[in-house]
Amino acid sequence: MKKVVFTMVFLLAACSTNLAQEGRVTVEQDPAIGKLLAIYTRGNSDTQYYTIQIGFGSFSMAEQLKAEAEIDFPDWPAKIVFDSPTYRVQVGRFRNRLDAEREFLEVRKKYPGALLLRPGDR
């Protein structure tokens, strides 16, 4: 009797895997999401931020200046931008000019040759 019950349970388990349904998922997305993504991307692009250029020169000089800037201003991103024939070191990403000008005054104390760059400047 135990063999018959075990065989039946085994056959039912084997058949149930063969009878499983295949799934198909369709995602319906609101068309406004594409517009929102475009606005988000445009708002976070590099051209929408003010930045402060603290110096420029050779690559080795730019690396050294970037390292100093990361120590002096640890909360701001520092990057090296190549603009032929020099490497420029820029710090910070500020959404509006008022914030950028406030921080620019502090940066000028340490780096007197610093420049405030607006969106689209190179």
Q: Token pair for residue 107?
A: 């940066």
- Please state the φ and ψ torsions of residue 68, each to the nearest 5 degrees: -65, -40
| DSSP output for 43-101 | HTSGGG-EEEEEEEESHHHHHHHHHHHHHH-TTS-EEEEEETTEEEEEEEEESSHHHHH
- Quick one: pLDDT band at residue 104, thresholds 50, 70, 90? very high
The tens digit of pLDDT for each residue in 25-83 reads 888 888 888 888 888 777 666 567 899 999 999 999 999 999 999 999 999 999 999 98
Domain ranges of the chain: 42-117
Please give the average per-residue pLDDT across 15-20, as a whole number: 59
d(CA 53, CA 108): 10
The tens digit of pLDDT for each residue in 83-95 reads 889 999 999 999 8
Question: How high is the pLDDT of residue 59?
Answer: 94
> What does pTM read for this prediction?
0.60
Q: Cβ distance 89 to 52 under 8 Å?
A: no
Inform me whether the pLDDT recorded for 113 exceeds 80.
yes
d(CA 4, CA 10): 10
The CATH number of 42-117 is 3.30.70.1070
Question: How high is the pLDDT of residue 33?
Answer: 87
d(CA 56, CA 82): 9
75: CB partners within 8 A, 6+ apart? none
Please give the average per-residue pLDDT across 3-17, as a whole number: 69
